[in-house]
């Protein structure tokens, strides 16, 4: 690329300034831009009557950026589905002056490279938390521009690679869905009638017959620090949060969690915030927003209980019994968990469920490694092409 000419962005980009005339009863997409080249998407719909400040219209294939976050990769091409969407002045957009000189798709890939993000940083200025890109400085930045045929060849190769990356992730998703479907089917046997479950030794009961609320309160000491955890949504396990400082927290009581316990978030139960406590989080602390349960090992296993909370049908099934206004205020109480009706399989069948549970999560762990390598292909290729 060293032998290709350099040109200023202002030579190939023209600022778009089409004003938005919003009809009061119409709805319009508002645009936002994900960081690090993750795409231009809709922030949501807004009624024209609710638009009180000036807006501009953006068109498909325009280059758009965030003045605040362009230095963090918030830049990309407007997709076809957002043609005619509206934006504020914090999101300048640009048309391509001559598509015979610069292929918009080539620029769409270029702006996702680290080199271009550095270019946006160079065009930004301001104090902490007020750094913004300066349009004149941005348009003065220079890029290396190969001939159009070479641009199109690069786009073709990158599009092909992106499609392969998508196909691999889609294939992994399909395998995991099938694995989860098998696990849930084995744990519930909803594929057969109640009479057939009875005949196979299954017993209709409630979760309270196999588990009990198990809280281990500890008074907060102002001179202590308490390791803390959160729960990922969609049954994706626990994660470490910053420790709770006894001197600054308003909580008077915290609750110690133990390995193997079933734990959930009252507030985010409706979106799958359920987990089993792994060894590495044994002895961590949570607030009373995270109830924990011990499962009686003589009657069932914690893995069987967790298998009953792995799908959206499970998460939403408890919503009707919760209290609150709006999703973010709904809370699932422990008594709602304990009152849930289940079919309890005989012990040999429970052992099979536990084995399938282990295999399912071993599969997801292997897939996570594959996904990480697969998702790194595009960024690594962009660095080779545009650096």
> Which has more confidence, 321 or 179?
179
204-220 residue pLDDT tens:
999 999 999 999 999 99
Angle at 233 between CA 372 and CA 162, to 5 degrees: 30
Q: What class, spelled out in words, does domain 203-344 have in CATH?
A: alpha beta
For residues 110 and 386, what is the distance between their CA atoms, to the nearest angstrom?
7
The pLDDT of residue 100: 86
Is the confidence at residue 127, as pLDDT, over 80?
no
Task: Give the global pTM.
Answer: 0.82
Please tell me if the domain spanning 6-146 has the same topology as the one spanning 203-344.
Answer: yes
The pLDDT of residue 317: 76
Mean pLDDT of the chain: 93
Is the confidence at residue 267, as pLDDT, over 70?
yes
Closest by CA position to 25, among listed 44, 45, 43, 41: 45
62-106 residue pLDDT tens:
999 999 999 999 999 999 999 999 999 999 999 999 888 999 999
Is the confidence at residue 1, as pLDDT, over 50?
no
Residue ranges covered by each domain of the chain: 6-146, 203-344
Is the confidence at residue 60, as pLDDT, over 60?
yes
Fold classification of 6-146 (topology level): Adenine-n6-DNA-methyltransferase TaqI; Chain A, domain 2 (3.90.220)
Range in 125-129, 310-314, 325-329, 372-376 with the lowest mean pLDDT: 325-329
Is the confidence at residue 50, as pLDDT, over 70?
yes
Q: How far is CA 226 from CA 108, 235, 237, 251, 281, in A?
A: 46, 24, 20, 12, 12
Q: Distance from CA of residue 16 to its chain's centroid? A: 32
The pLDDT of residue 128: 63
Is the confidence at residue 322, as pLDDT, over 80?
no
276-310 residue pLDDT tens:
999 999 999 999 999 999 999 999 999 999 999 99
Question: How is residue 76 written in tokens?
Answer: 């990309």
Q: What is the mean pLDDT of residues 38-60?
A: 94
Range in 4-8, 210-214, 272-276, 345-349 with the lowest mean pLDDT: 4-8
35-47 residue pLDDT tens:
999 999 999 999 9
The pLDDT of residue 40: 96
Which band of pLDDT confidence, cut at 50, 70 and 90, is reported for residue 325? very low
The pLDDT of residue 320: 64
218-259 residue pLDDT tens:
999 999 999 999 999 999 999 999 999 999 999 999 999 999
Which band of pLDDT confidence, cut at 50, 70 and 90, is reported for residue 324? low
The pLDDT of residue 323: 55
Q: What is the mean pLDDT of residues 371-384?
A: 95
Is the confidence at residue 260, as pLDDT, over 80?
yes
Per-residue HEC secondary structure of the chain comes to CCCCCEEEHHHCEEECCCECCCCCCCEEEEEEECCCCCCEEEEEEEEHHHCCCCCEECCCCCEEECCCCHHHCCEEECCHHHCCCEECCCCCEEEECCCCCCCHHHHHHHCCCHHHHHHHHHCEECCCCCCEECHHHHHHCEEECCCHHHHHHHHHHHHHHHHHHHHHHHHHHHHHHHHHHHHHHHHHCCCCCHHHHHHCCCEEEEHHHCEEECCCEEECCCCCEEEEEEECCCCCCEEEEEEEECCCCCCCEEEECCCCCEEECCCCHHHCCEEECCHHHCCCEECCCCCEEEECCCCCCHHHHHHCCCCHHHHHHCHHHCECCCHHHCECCHHHHHCCEEEECCHHHHHHHHHHHHHHHHHHHHHHHHHHHHHCHHHHHHHHHHC
Residue 244 backbone dihedrals phi, psi, to 5 degrees = -85, 120
């Amino acid at each position: 690329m060293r032998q290709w000419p350099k040109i200023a962005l202002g030579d190939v980009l023209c600022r778009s300034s089409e004003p938005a005339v919003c009809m009061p009863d119409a709805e319009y997409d508002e645009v936002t831009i994900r960081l690090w080249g993750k795409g231009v998407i809709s922030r949501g719909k807004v009624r024209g009557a609710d638009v009180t400040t000036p807006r501009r219209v953006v068109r498909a294939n325009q280059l758009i950026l965030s003045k605040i976050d362009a230095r963090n990769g918030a830049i990309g091409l407007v997709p076809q589905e957002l043609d005619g969407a509206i934006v504020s002045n914090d999101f300048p957009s640009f048309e391509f002056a001559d598509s015979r000189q610069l292929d918009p798709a080539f620029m769409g890939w270029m702006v996702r490279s680290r080199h271009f993000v550095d270019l946006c940083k160079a065009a930004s200025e301001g104090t902490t938390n007020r750094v913004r890109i300066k349009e004149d400085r941005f348009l003065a930045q220079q890029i290396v521009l190969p001939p159009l045929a070479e641009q199109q060849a690069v786009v073709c190769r990158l599009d092909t690679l992106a499609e392969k990356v998508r196909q691999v992730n889609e294939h992994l998703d399909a395998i995991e869905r099938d694995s989860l479907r098998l696990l849930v089917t084995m744990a519930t046997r909803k594929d057969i009638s109640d009479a057939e479950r009875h005949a196979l030794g299954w017993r209709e009961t409630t979760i309270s017959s196999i588990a009990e609320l198990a809280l281990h309160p500890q008074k907060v000491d102002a001179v202590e620090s308490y390791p803390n955890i959160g729960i990922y949504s969609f049954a994706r396990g626990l994660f470490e949060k910053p420790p709770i400082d006894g001197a600054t927290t308003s909580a008077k009581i915290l609750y110690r969690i133990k390995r193997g316990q079933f734990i959930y978030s009252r507030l985010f139960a409706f979106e799958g915030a359920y987990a089993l406590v792994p060894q590495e989080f044994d002895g961590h602390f949570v607030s009373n927003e995270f109830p924990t349960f011990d499962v009686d090992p003589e009657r069932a296993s914690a893995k069987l209980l967790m298998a009953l909370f792995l799908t959206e049908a499970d998460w939403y099934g408890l919503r009707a019994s919760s209290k609150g206004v709006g999703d973010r205020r709904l809370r699932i109480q422990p008594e709602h968990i304990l009152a849930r009706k289940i079919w309890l399989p005989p012990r040999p069948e429970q052992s099979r469920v536990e084995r399938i549970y282990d295999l399912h999560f071993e599969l997801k762990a292997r897939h996570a490694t594959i996904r990480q390598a697969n998702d790194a292909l595009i960024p690594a290729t962009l660095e080779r092409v545009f650096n």
